[in-house]
């Protein structure tokens, strides 16, 4: 079975270095979405958080040697599915970004942890569950 995904747009940022994870990022940039998807952006608003699914387009090809990796902040080797490594069997990433502004097909965001030219595969709303909002565990 083959799966084909086409980008809906690309990331633009002037940042030369980016944090490894969106949760510690203050980098700003733009999600430049293809014109054909303009109507799909209509209800995204400043202040909203969005989930951006993207392709780790600069990651090396995955091999079994990457099943265990040592994260940059860690001291021990861990399984790839328990860490946020960009080197994965399917090079798909996910970030939660804050929307600053939407202008036509450009979504201005902060908390960016993607490189210039990163292909965007999808955008979804960030929905916090009721337990998280109430401070419950």
Domains of the chain, start order:
1-48+88-124 (2.40.30.70)
Counting residues of the chain whose pLDDT is more than 70, the rounded percentage is 94
How does residue 112 score in pLDDT terms, banded at 50, 70 and 90?
Answer: very high
Residue with the bigger pLDDT between 23 and 77: it is 77
> pLDDT per residue over 25-47, tens digit each?
899 999 999 999 999 999 999 99
104: left (phi over 0), alpha (psi -120 to 50) or beta: left
In this structure, of 5-9, 22-26, 37-41, the range with the lowest mean pLDDT score is 22-26
Beta strands 78-79 and 68-69 are: antiparallel
pTM of the model: 0.87
């Amino acid at each position: 079975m083959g799966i084909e995904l086409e980008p809906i747009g690309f990331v633009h940022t002037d940042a030369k270095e980016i944090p490894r994870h969106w949760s510690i990022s203050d980098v700003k940039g733009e999600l430049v979405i293809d014109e054909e998807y303009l109507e799909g952006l209509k209800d995204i608003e400043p202040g909203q958080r969005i989930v951006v699914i993207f392709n780790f387009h600069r990651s090396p090809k995955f091999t079994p040697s990457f099943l265990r990796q040592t994260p940059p902040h860690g001291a021990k080797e861990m399984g790839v599915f328990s860490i946020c490594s960009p080197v994965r069997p399917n090079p798909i990433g996910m970030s939660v970004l804050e929307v600053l502004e939407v202008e036509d097909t450009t979504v201005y965001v902060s908390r960016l942890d993607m490189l210039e030219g990163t292909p965007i595969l999808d955008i979804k709303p960030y929905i916090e569950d009721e337990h998280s909002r109430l401070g419950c565990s």
